[in-house]
Amino acid sequence: MSTSLSRQQAQSFSLVALMAALMAVLGLIPKIDLPFGVPITAQSLAVMLAGCLLGARRGFQAIALFLLAVAVGLPLLSGGRGGLGVFMAPSVGYLAGYPLAAGVTGALMARLPAATPRRIALSAFAASVLGGVVFLHAMGIAGLMLMASMPLRQAVMIDLAFVPGDLIKCALCALVVHSIAWALPDWRMGGRA
């Protein structure tokens, strides 16, 4: 029995690791602290990119790998945070939602039109809005209700503070995806077969 990796498997592992590293790099951008315990960070952009560029499975794996590194104590979250304690904070819904949102974004991206770079960019924007904003924010709201004991209405109102910035991240994601689609026309957006 051979234990060597195929070229395709090695490439897949590399892309997962690189996306996890991109998530860590975006953590170097200073966070904006808000009074209710959930900071504004650039890291949700990597969640959107993971889904759009790698697809549901590999996007999920990349962000899960990142969170595993955070859980073992690496200070990779924005502001140099890491360790199990971050999973006990009001932001836990967003953190737990990161890999799932990457998966949802990737699944949507694989099903949206991809005939031209422009169409791919529009699909990336739509997938990012639905997976990286709507789905992720629903997870975040659930975390606020659970960990901060907030009623639904208050959690939704607090979550609205993140929407404008996340829509900008969706546009940035679409621009990056457009550039990659134009430069690398064979790239399988959303993990397409």
Q: Residue 38 maps to which CATH number? A: 1.10.1760.20
- Examine residue 119 and state whether it is found in any structural domain, yes or no: yes
- Examine residue 2 and state whether it is found in any structural domain, yes or no: no
- Cα separation, 176 vs 125, whole angstroms: 10
Token pair for 115 = 């005939």
- pLDDT of 28-69, one tens digit each? 998 888 777 788 899 999 999 999 999 999 999 999 999 999
Instruction: Name beta bridge partners: 40.
Output: 32
- Examine residue 178 and state whether it is found in any structural domain, yes or no: yes
Helix runs in 50-114, H state only: 55-71, 92-111
**How many CB atoms neighbour CB 142 within 10 A?**
17
Residue 87, judged by CB atoms within 10 A of its CB (0-12, 13-18, 19+), counts as: middle
Number of domains, the chain: 1
58, 105 Cβ separation under 8 angstroms: no
- Examine residue 1 and state whether it is found in any structural domain, yes or no: no
- pLDDT of 132-183, one tens digit each? 999 999 999 999 999 999 999 999 999 999 999 999 999 999 999 999 999 9
- Examine residue 183 and state whether it is found in any structural domain, yes or no: yes
- Examine residue 177 and state whether it is found in any structural domain, yes or no: yes
Owning domain of residue 163: 7-191
Q: What is the pLDDT of residue 173?
A: 98
Residue 119, judged by CB atoms within 10 A of its CB (0-12, 13-18, 19+), counts as: middle
User: pTM of the prediction?
Assistant: 0.93
Token pair for 178 = 């457009």
> Which residues lie closer than 8 Å to 178 by C-beta, 6 or more apart?
117, 118, 120, 121, 124
- Examine residue 124 and state whether it is found in any structural domain, yes or no: yes
193 has a pLDDT exceeding 70: no
Q: What is the pLDDT of residue 31?
A: 86
- 3-state SS, one letter per residue, for 162-189: HHHHHHHHHHHHHHHHHHHHHHCCCCCH
**How many CB atoms neighbour CB 170 within 10 A?**
25
